[in-house]
Amino acid sequence: QVQLVESGGGTVQAGGSLRLSCAASVSSYISGRMGWFRQAPGKEREGVASIVSDGSTAYRGSVKGRFTISKDNAKNTLYLQMNSLKPEDTAMYYCAAISQHYTYYGALDPRTYNYWGQGTEVTVSS
């Protein structure tokens, strides 16, 4: 079992930047597949970005070129650098990790992930 704790959310004007962090309580999970997801009020949770052990990444089309996922294995921390933020990026952002025995539905499919943080809220004003 792993605990994931997100931080770094806040309110920013359109065009601004934020960096989200996700601290994992168990180091082995950071080295595996991890992802960032978001959920806006009244909408389904959607995948934003994912990263695997070799550093390969995947991004949702609407955030490509603006968001960057990365991780620091030594600090057991996952990051999401968000630049050029838009009002439509407003949502609760969650980080997620897989268990040892997981079923792969897709890099940005929430069903792939077994462990979730409590979320950090991002609001982008126009």
pLDDT in tens, 28-45: 777 789 999 999 999 999
Q: Which helix (H) or strand (E) holds 81?
A: strand 77-82
Q: Where does the pLDDT of residue 19 fall: very low under 50, low under 70, confident under 90, or very high at 90 and above?
A: very high
Identify the pLDDT of residue 100: 84
CB 4 within 8 A of CB 96: yes
Q: CA-to-CA distance for 5 and 122, rounded, in angstroms? A: 15
Identify the pLDDT of residue 29: 79
